[in-house]
Every structure is written in C-alpha cells, then in structure tokens.
Amino acid sequence: MTDDTIDIEEFAAQARTWLAEHMPPAPRVTGSFVLTSTNPPDDVQLARFEKCRELQRRLFDGGYAGITVPRRYGGQGLTPAHQAAFNRELVGYDYPAEIQASTFIPCMAVLLEFGTEEQKQRHIPAMLRGEEIWVQLLSEPGGGSDTAGAVTSAVRDGDEWVINGSKMWTTAARYGDWAMCLARTNWDVEKHRGLTVFSFPLTTPGVDIHPIELVNGSTEFCQEFLTDVVVSERDRVGEIDAGWDVVTRWLYHERTISGGSPYVTGRGNRAHDGPYDAFEMIATARDLGTLTDPRARALIGESHTLSLVMKALAESVSKKMAMGTLPAHAAAMARLFSGTMNIRRAAIGLELAGPQAAAWQVDDDIFAQLGSGYLIRQVSCIGGGTTEMARNVISERLLGMPREHRNDRGPFRDVPRGPEAGSTTR
Amino acid sequence: MFALTADQELFEKTTARYLESKYAPDHVRDLAGRPSAFNPEAWQQGAALGWTSLLVSEAAGGGSISGNGLLDLLTVAYHFGRHAAPGPLFPSNLVAMALARWGSDDQQGEPLARLIDGSATAAWCAPQRIDDPRVRGGDVSAHVSGPEIVLSGALSPVEGAGDASLLLVSATEPQGRSYVLVPVSAPGVHLVPLAGLDLTRRYHEVTLRDVRLPVSARVGQAGAGDTYDEIMFDVLATLRAAEVVGALQRCFDITLQWTRDRYSFGRPLASYQEIKHRMADMRTALEAGAAITLRAARAFGDSNPDASVWCSAAVAYVGRVALEAIQDCIQMHGGIGLTAEHDLHLFLRRAVVDTQLGGSPADMTQRVVHLLETAQGAQR
C-alpha cells in the first residue's frame, strides 16, 4: 500500500487501456424491468446474474472493484473522484449493472458503517469478487410506505435469533446469496426503537422465495416467507433495538443509486432510457410516418425536455446539498420529479405509438415496450418510496409545514394495525 | 437561487436589496398608470451595480463575475422577476452583447460604452423567426444605395423601444438578414405603443419608413443575422426562464406564508395534506426550473454543442410549469387572489409576457426536436 494516491488522469488512462483489453462492449439494449416487455425467461435471467459475477470478478482482478473501499477489505482505497473517473471510462462497456443495487448499495455500504470487523472481512471481499450477491429484506406486505412498522419478528434464543414473517419487493432474491433483513426485536417500545438488522444466507432453512409477477410480465421482484429462520448472533448488523439507525443509512445509500454514491460502478442499475430516449422516439415517429406531424413533435420535445430537466435537477440538488445550501431532505425533490417525469413520459410514449401500443407484430419490441411500459408506469411513483411520501418530506422538512397526524407513538404492540399485518404478530 | 460562488452571492444580495428598496409592489402599481415606467437614474444605478456589462467581454469594456456572464446575469433576471421590476434588462444587455461580439470599432466605442454605463438603453427589433400566423412581427427590408443603407418595414412587439436611444434592427437584404444599429432619432423611425399585460414592461410597434443610414450602421457581416440569432435567442431564452423562476419564487413565498396565516375550519391551510402536496410540487418545479436554467447558462458559457437544446428546453419547461404554478397560487388564495389589490397578478403578468414573447414554450419544444434532428443528422 502506497501513501500517495494515483493521479486521477493517470488512473483514468490506465483504466481506459485495461477496459479495452478486458471488458466486453455493452449490450445494445439494456432495458430495466420498467421498460422491458420481453421479460427474459428464468434461465436467461440466471445466466445474466452469472455473467455479472464474472464481470465483477474481472473488475476485481483488474484492480477496479471497490475503488473507494479500504484495501483491507479488498478494495482499492482510492477516492470518489477515482470512481467517477472510472465510471466515465466505463461508458460503452458491459459491467455488472444488475448487482450494483442491492449488493454494493445499500448492503456493502451498510456493512462498512455498521458491520463488525469480522463481518467486513468476511463479506466485503467476497462481494467485490462477485461471489456474494446481496439482497434487501426490508419492505413487508402490510408495510407500504411505513418501513419502521415492520412486523417480521426476531426472537433471541441463546447465541441465535429465530426470525418469522414475510418480506416483499426484493429485487432478484432468486439469484442472491445473502440477505440483509430488518426485524422487530422489541414490541414494548415505540416502533422505531424496537428494530434490529440481521444478515443471513438465502439458503438458510425456512427461507421461501416466490417471484411476484408484475403487470408487464416482469418477475424480477420476489416475496419471501421466513419461517423459523435461525440466524447467528454474529450475523446481527448494528446494535440490538437500534436497527432504525441502520435503516436510516440503509435508505440513504439506497437512494444514492440515482447519483452520488462512491460505491456504485457505472450508472448503477439504471437503464438506458430505452424507447423513451429522444432519438429512439424520433426513430419511432419516423417509422410511423408521424415525424412531420407537429403533435408528435410536441410530444417528443416535451419528453426530451423533461429528461433534460431531470438531469439538471439531480445535478443541481446534489451540488447544493454538498455545498450546504440545501438540506439532505432536498433529495426528495429529485425523487418526486423523477416519478412525475416518468409517468408523463410513459403517457407520451403511449400517445406517440397510439394503436401500435395496443396491438403489435410479435417482433416489434419498441411497441411492446411502449405498451407495457404504460401499464407499469406508476412504478416510478411507487418504487423506492412513493411520491406521496416525497411530497410529505418536501412540505414538512423543507418547507416547515405542519407534520401529518400519526397514531403510532406508544408501544408498538398497541399501535392499531389492519387485519392483514396484525395476523403475523406474535 | 442562481448564485453559486461567494462573489455571485454578494452581487445577488446587492441587486436584491436595491430592487427591494426601489420597486415595492405599490410602486409598481403606481408606475402602471404612467406612459413610461422607465427611471433613467435607477437604471444607471443598476448599471453601476453591474447589470449591463456582464455579456460584454473585458476587451470591449465589460466583464463578468464568474467568467460566464450569462450565469451571473441570471441572478439579476431572477430578482427582476421577483419584483416585476421595470428596466430594459433583456434588450439592453442583448444589444450590448451584439455590439461587443459583432460590432465595429465605432459601435464598440461610444454606443456600447453608454449602454454599459446605463446613460443610454437599446431595444432589439428581433425578426419573426417562426412561421406562426399569431405573430404579427412583420419584416424590415434593406438595400444599399451608394454609401447608405435604406430600411423600410415594421417589427413588433419591441420591448423598451419607447425609452431607448438605439435600436438593433433585423433587416432583410438581398444577401440575407443583417442587423443594423438605428438611432431612434433617425428620420423615418416611428413608434406606436402597444397595449399589454405587464404593468411596467412596455412594447411598441417600430416602423421604419425609408430610414437612411451610412452602411457602417450594419452590425457585423451582411447576411449573418441568422447565425447571430442563434446566440441572441439562446441568451434571451435563458434570461426569460430565470425571470420567470423569480416571478414564481415570489408567488411561492407569498403563498407559503398565506397557508400559514390563513385558518379555515380551525386549522391553518398549511396543515391540509392537499395543500402541502401542492406546495411540494411547486417547490420542486421551482428547483427544477432553476436547475435547467442554470444548466442552460452553463452550456451556453461553455459553448457546448447542445447549448441551444438546453436553452430552448429551459423555456419549454419553465414556461409551462411556472404559469400553472402561479395560477395554483391564486387558487390557494381563493377570491382575494383574483383582486387587483393583491400582489400575485404583478408576477403572473410578468411571467406571461416572458413565456409568450420571444418563442413560446410550445415553439421552444418544437425547436428542441428540430435541434435534435439536426444533431442526429450531423452524427451520421
């Protein structure tokens, strides 16, 4: 380990040479679950995750995995500026996009902050080598926006904990190795005070994983049923009953997928804009013979304008937060805008395609994407925290308007719950 | 909102304080009844604060704060919007920029110096750029006759012509469109005031009847008008967007305070989630509008190949979202928001003229697509 850090320019130049020799070019269409209509069958999805492991291993062997992670955990001990430089060089190459979230953010980031030395030594190098893919067991079927209202329970039994409950909206749980899981360890205190975070292998007996089919056919998300899952005390992350402190940072790191994380390689899991890319839309209108129609042009222009505003807003909000002219809660504005922008773009895509988005030739992938992209469009206002919650955060935390009335102040045991959530209480 | 450095912040503060002291809403209302809202002394003081030199290079007698004068000027435009302030901020700066970039040594002498020190102002008689039957812009034609260039025609609406001593006139010559610097006092120049929404920003129809000037009155090359306009309209678009963001900011501030002070059914309006969520949307639109405007100014300053896309997108976005947001401010005020006595309309008026003149949001949206196609064609 050397004391002087490698110059960014030099690092970028080395990366450029290395990438050209070692990494394959990016696949042409990299749709995300939001955009992909032709959801690949399970074996193709599995193969892609295996490919991610292999690509991650290549990065590791080349010295480009965990660029900002300390060397003692298998990283490179360099700065966020080095990671940013590498990400710039990476454009045009394939990389393990699908495992950036949840493995590196939030899971690795949370371990770096809250993990024991033993946990860090054990898991972080394995993550960086592509050997451990991590998933998040956070949301619950009865939870919605109320993450702290988790009712999955963990009961201590000597040096072990026994976990029971159900988790939902886990990305790629079927292809993961380890899970980070939030559970309730104390029902007699206020809801934020009785939570603890655990980690365990997804192969642990009692972990039952079921894919959830979304309206566009995607099976990327899963629900997990946890029945008497035994977790070792040494796999607890953070202090007992202080899980909310961990989750606060967990959620923070999760949000950095839209920019600003030192742990994300490339553009993270973020997809190409797919059929909503302005040039794709122009091509679509040209194919349909509507490119000279001012109505079609107005739609394309509006869509592209919104994309530019999103880009400018994300940049400006993170810059102002870094300068201290905006508080951390300001990130909710970028979240809200991305939600409203994406639903508008989905509507624009539908209008542009018109009848073609309702019924299309089987191999016409663009129209399939525009059609089913519209079906699933509210995902952008729901996933990763609803826009309603973002509006609450902005109005209450940023504008100082009165907080919403809440009915969950006392011991969690006494907090009213709907019949569904109540049934898993013990 | 637009200040990023300590120097810009200081500049913004002085401008904000000055406008605050000079243009209280009641004073703006008073100005509405006068033939001209222009105050030459106040404008010269503004020039002394730096309002008029930012788009002019140091070599030509100007200078910026950050190295990107348009970025600096956004803070002034923003506060003009916040106060619905009078004064030829856009036309005088644009004409000064044109003289500094393309003008002859003579034009960069006294005429430019007077625009920068604020002792004179200028108006930009812009061409009708878009094929829109609603724009009754007209056209000015020009031909060279011996040592003279002769101009005839009309352009409208022209901001600030009534107070200006110089007009930068778009004129079509046989070899293409050119710009000509025309003194308002030249024989054959006629101004007809127009009616309009803004209380302090006035517009005229400018008619030129056989106006004869030395050929040296041309600004830049004959026939280069279309090239110059790419820059002129990009700068104008960015400034318009910044001013609209300022107007929205003022309405937002007024409305946020109102939601706290106004009680209905025993609770402040601010405690209703419906109101909170609309204020959150508005706050986000404000931030997003400022962000794209800032990004446009930066792209322009950096001479990015896609700068025109950013500048057009700024108006395309801000123009639409801000008008709706300001109307929503009125909605949240209820009946009082519809009265002339309330201040909200002062800023709505400014926002409307800013968004509709010089390329509407719809026009700018079309321009975004046109520019994308051009860029795509160039890549192939």
Q: What is the pLDDT of residues B68-109, one digit of tens each?
A: 999 999 999 999 999 999 999 999 999 999 999 999 999 999
Does residue A205 belong to any structural domain of this protein? yes
Does residue B142 belong to any structural domain of this protein? yes
Neighbouring-strand partners of residue B113: none
Q: What is the mean pLDDT of residues A134-161?
A: 93
Cβ density class B152-184: b for 16+ within 10 Å, e for less: bbbbbbbbbbbbbebbbbbbbbeeebbbbbbbb
Last residue of a domain, one of A238, A264, A290: A264
CA distances from A363 to A38, A40, A214, A357, A369 (A): 10, 14, 21, 13, 11
> What residue of B is the nearest CA neighbor of A389?
B277
Does residue A22 belong to any structural domain of this protein? no
Contact A305 B271 (CB under 8 A): no
Supply φ then ψ for residue B266, to 5 degrees.
80, 10
* Residue B251 C-alpha, separation from nearest chain A C-alpha, in angstroms: 15
Number of domains in chain B: 3
Instruction: Give yes or no: residues B38 and B179 share one domain.
Output: no
Instruction: Give yes or no: residues A151 and A294 share one domain.
Output: no
Q: Which residue in B9, B274, B275, B276 has the most chain A C-beta atoms within 10 A of its own C-beta, making it the best mutation to test that interface?
A: B276
Instruction: Give yes or no: residues B172 and B50 share one domain.
Output: no
Residues in chain B: 380
A402 contacts in B (CB within 8 Å)? 268, 270-271, 276
Instruction: Give yes or no: residues B207 and B113 share one domain.
Output: no
| Predicted local distance difference test score (pLDDT) of residue B159 | 97
Q: How confident is the model at residue B130 (pLDDT cuts 50, 70, 90)?
A: low
* Residue B274 C-alpha, separation from nearest chain A C-alpha, in angstroms: 10
Q: Among partner residues A298, A304, A311, which is closest to B362 by beta-carbon distance?
A: A298
Instruction: Give yes or no: residues A141 and A280 share one domain.
Output: no
Q: Among partner residues B283, B366, B376, which is closest to A297 by beta-carbon distance?
A: B366
Residue from A26, A383, A50, A387 nearest A218 by CA = A383
CA distances from A190 to A162, A198, A389, B354 (A): 22, 20, 21, 53
Does residue B350 belong to any structural domain of this protein? yes
| Predicted local distance difference test score (pLDDT) of residue B125 | 97
Residue A211's CB is within 10 A of a number of other CB atoms, namely 17
Residue from B56, B28, B54 nearest B42 by CA = B28
A329 contacts in B (CB within 8 Å)? none
Instruction: Give yes or no: residues A280 and A223 share one domain.
Output: no
Residue B149 has pLDDT above 60, yes or no: yes
Residue from B117, B113, B91 nearest B100 by CA = B113
Q: Among partner residues B281, B294, B313, which is closest to A391 by beta-carbon distance?
A: B281
Structural tokens at position A225: 């049923």
Give the three-class secondary structure for A259.
coil
- For chain A, the average pLDDT equals 91
| Predicted local distance difference test score (pLDDT) of residue A418 | 75
Supply φ then ψ for residue B219, to 5 degrees.
-105, 115
Instruction: Give yes or no: residues B181 and B154 share one domain.
Output: yes
B247: domain CATH number?
1.20.140.10
Instruction: Give yes or no: residues A254 and A319 share one domain.
Output: no
Contact A279 B316 (CB under 8 A): no
| Predicted local distance difference test score (pLDDT) of residue B78 | 98
B131 contacts in A (CB within 8 Å)? none
Instruction: Give yes or no: residues A66 and A164 share one domain.
Output: yes
B161: domain CATH number?
2.40.110.10
Does residue B131 belong to any structural domain of this protein? yes
B286 contacts in A (CB within 8 Å)? none
Instruction: Give yes or no: residues B294 and B349 share one domain.
Output: yes
The predicted-structure confidence for A349-371, as pLDDT tens digits, reads as follows 999 999 999 999 988 889 999 99
- Encoded amino acid at A262, one letter: P
A163: domain CATH number?
2.40.110.10
| Predicted local distance difference test score (pLDDT) of residue B379 | 66
In which element (H, E) is residue B123 found? Answer: strand B122-125
Instruction: Give yes or no: residues B335 and B214 share one domain.
Output: no
Question: Pairing mode, if any, of strands A178-184 and A134-137?
Answer: parallel
B366 contacts in A (CB within 8 Å)? 294, 297-298, 301
A284: domain CATH number?
1.20.140.10
Q: Does B264 lie at the interface with A, CB-CB under 8 angstroms?
A: no
Contact A336 B290 (CB under 8 A): no
Instruction: Give yes or no: residues A340 and A311 share one domain.
Output: yes
Does residue A11 belong to any structural domain of this protein? no
Q: Which residue in B132, B284, B310 has the most chain A C-beta atoms within 10 A of its own C-beta, making it the best mutation to test that interface?
A: B284
| Predicted local distance difference test score (pLDDT) of residue A270 | 56
Residue B362 has pLDDT above 90, yes or no: yes
Structural tokens at position B78: 């923003």
Instruction: Give yes or no: residues B209 and B292 share one domain.
Output: no
Does residue B185 belong to any structural domain of this protein? yes
* Residue B43 C-alpha, separation from nearest chain A C-alpha, in angstroms: 31
Structural tokens at position B278: 């609309």
> What residue of A is the nearest CA neighbor of B278?
A391
Q: Does A312 lie at the interface with B, CB-CB under 8 angstroms?
A: yes
Q: Does B1 lie at the interface with A, CB-CB under 8 angstroms?
A: no
Does residue B1 belong to any structural domain of this protein? no
Residue B136 has pLDDT above 70, yes or no: no
Q: Which residue in A401, A403, A406 has the most chain B C-beta atoms within 10 A of its own C-beta, making it the best mutation to test that interface?
A: A401
Determine contact, residues A202/A170, Cβ cutoff 8 Å: no
- For chain B, the average pLDDT equals 95
Instruction: Give yes or no: residues B231 and B330 share one domain.
Output: yes
Q: Does B373 lie at the interface with A, CB-CB under 8 angstroms?
A: yes
Write down the pTM of the prediction: 0.91
Number of domains in chain A: 2
Last residue of a domain, one of A264, A288, A304: A264
Instruction: Give yes or no: residues B303 and B174 share one domain.
Output: no
Q: Among partner residues A282, A309, A401, which is closest to B292 by beta-carbon distance?
A: A309
Instruction: Give yes or no: residues B368 and B311 share one domain.
Output: yes
CA–CA distance, A49 with A176 (Å, rounded to integer): 9
Instruction: Give yes or no: residues A282 and A343 share one domain.
Output: yes
Structural tokens at position A277: 């890319």
Does residue A218 belong to any structural domain of this protein? yes
B369 contacts in A (CB within 8 Å)? 282, 297, 300-301, 304
Contact residues for A294 (Cβ-Cβ < 8 A; gap 6+):
B366
Does residue A46 belong to any structural domain of this protein? yes
Q: Count A/B contacts: CB-CB distance under 8 Å.
A: 121
Instruction: Give yes or no: residues A190 and A333 share one domain.
Output: no
Instruction: Give yes or no: residues B270 and B229 share one domain.
Output: yes
Pairwise pLDDT comparison (A214 vs B257), residue with the higher score: B257
Structural tokens at position A28: 């042409």
Residue from B324, B307, B306, B326 nearest B361 by CA = B324
B300 contacts in A (CB within 8 Å)? none
Q: Which domain holds residue B96?
A: 6-121
Report which DSSP code applies to B109. Answer: T
Residue labelled with tokens 């929404």: B197
A316 contacts in B (CB within 8 Å)? 287, 290-291, 294-295
> What residue of B is the nearest CA neighbor of A405?
B271
* B40-49 vs B6-22: helix crossing angle, rounded to 10: 170
Strand residue runs (E) in chain B? 122-125, 140-145, 148-159, 166-173, 176-183, 189-193, 203-214, 218-219, 263-264, 267-268
Q: Among partner residues B291, B365, B369, which is closest to A313 by beta-carbon distance?
A: B291
The predicted-structure confidence for B50-63, as pLDDT tens digits, reads as follows 999 999 999 999 99
Neighbouring-strand partners of residue A413: none
Last residue of a domain, one of B185, B202, B219: B219
Q: Among partner residues B4, B291, B313, which is closest to A305 by beta-carbon distance?
A: B313
Residue labelled with tokens 């509407």: B360
| Predicted local distance difference test score (pLDDT) of residue A29 | 56
B264 contacts in A (CB within 8 Å)? none
Residue A154 has pLDDT above 80, yes or no: yes
Does residue A79 belong to any structural domain of this protein? yes
Residue from A244, A206, A250 nearest A227 by CA = A206
The percent of residues above 90 in pLDDT, for chain A, comes to: 74
Q: How confident is the model at residue B151 (pLDDT cuts 50, 70, 90)?
A: very high
| Predicted local distance difference test score (pLDDT) of residue A17 | 97
Contact A394 B273 (CB under 8 A): no
Does residue B188 belong to any structural domain of this protein? yes
> What residue of A is the nearest CA neighbor of B281?
A391
Q: How confident is the model at residue A425 (pLDDT cuts 50, 70, 90)?
A: very low
Instruction: Give yes or no: residues A177 and A301 share one domain.
Output: no
Q: What is the mean pLDDT of residues A119-143?
A: 96
| Predicted local distance difference test score (pLDDT) of residue A142 | 86
Instruction: Give yes or no: residues A63 and A141 share one domain.
Output: yes
A327: preceding bond cis by omega (within 30 degrees): no
Q: Does B284 lie at the interface with A, CB-CB under 8 angstroms?
A: yes
Q: How confident is the model at residue B212 (pLDDT cuts 50, 70, 90)?
A: very high
Q: Does B362 lie at the interface with A, CB-CB under 8 angstroms?
A: yes
Residue A34 has pLDDT above 80, yes or no: no
Q: Which domain holds residue A319?
A: 273-398
| Predicted local distance difference test score (pLDDT) of residue B134 | 65
CA–CA distance, A364 with B155 (Å, rounded to integer): 50
- Encoded amino acid at A415, one letter: V
The predicted-structure confidence for A53-80, as pLDDT tens digits, reads as follows 999 999 999 999 999 999 999 999 999 9
The percent of residues above 90 in pLDDT, for chain B, comes to: 93
Contact B372 A337 (CB under 8 A): no
In which element (H, E) is residue A162 found? Answer: strand A160-171
Structural tokens at position A124: 């972080």
Last residue of a domain, one of B92, B121, B150: B121
Last residue of a domain, one of B187, B219, B251: B219
Does residue A4 belong to any structural domain of this protein? no
CA–CA distance, A196 with A182 (Å, rounded to integer): 6
Contact A402 B291 (CB under 8 A): no
Residue from A348, A343, A373 nearest A33 by CA = A373
Backbone dihedral region of A183: left (phi > 0), alpha (psi from -120 to 50 degrees) or beta? beta
The predicted-structure confidence for A274-290, as pLDDT tens digits, reads as follows 899 999 999 999 999 99
Supply φ then ψ for residue A222, to 5 degrees.
-135, 160
Contact B373 A282 (CB under 8 A): yes
Instruction: Give yes or no: residues B149 and B215 share one domain.
Output: yes
Does residue A419 belong to any structural domain of this protein? no
Residue from B297, B157, B166, B309 nearest B241 by CA = B297
The predicted-structure confidence for B163-186, as pLDDT tens digits, reads as follows 999 999 999 999 999 999 999 999
Q: What angle do CA A175, A176, A180 make, to 5 degrees?
A: 150
Instruction: Give yes or no: residues A259 and A300 share one domain.
Output: no
Contact B290 A316 (CB under 8 A): yes
CA distances from A378 to A215, A258, A345, A382, B56 (A): 11, 18, 11, 6, 48
Contact A316 B313 (CB under 8 A): no
The predicted-structure confidence for A169-220, as pLDDT tens digits, reads as follows 998 889 999 999 999 999 999 999 999 999 999 999 999 999 999 998 888 8
Determine contact, residues A10/A17, Cβ cutoff 8 Å: no
The predicted-structure confidence for A206-263, as pLDDT tens digits, reads as follows 999 999 999 988 888 999 999 999 999 999 999 999 999 999 999 888 877 766 789 9
> What residue of B is the nearest CA neighbor of A387?
B277
Residue A35 has pLDDT above 80, yes or no: no
Q: How confident is the model at residue A30 (pLDDT cuts 50, 70, 90)?
A: very low
Contact A298 B365 (CB under 8 A): yes
Instruction: Give yes or no: residues A206 and A92 share one domain.
Output: yes
Residue labelled with tokens 């009680």: B263
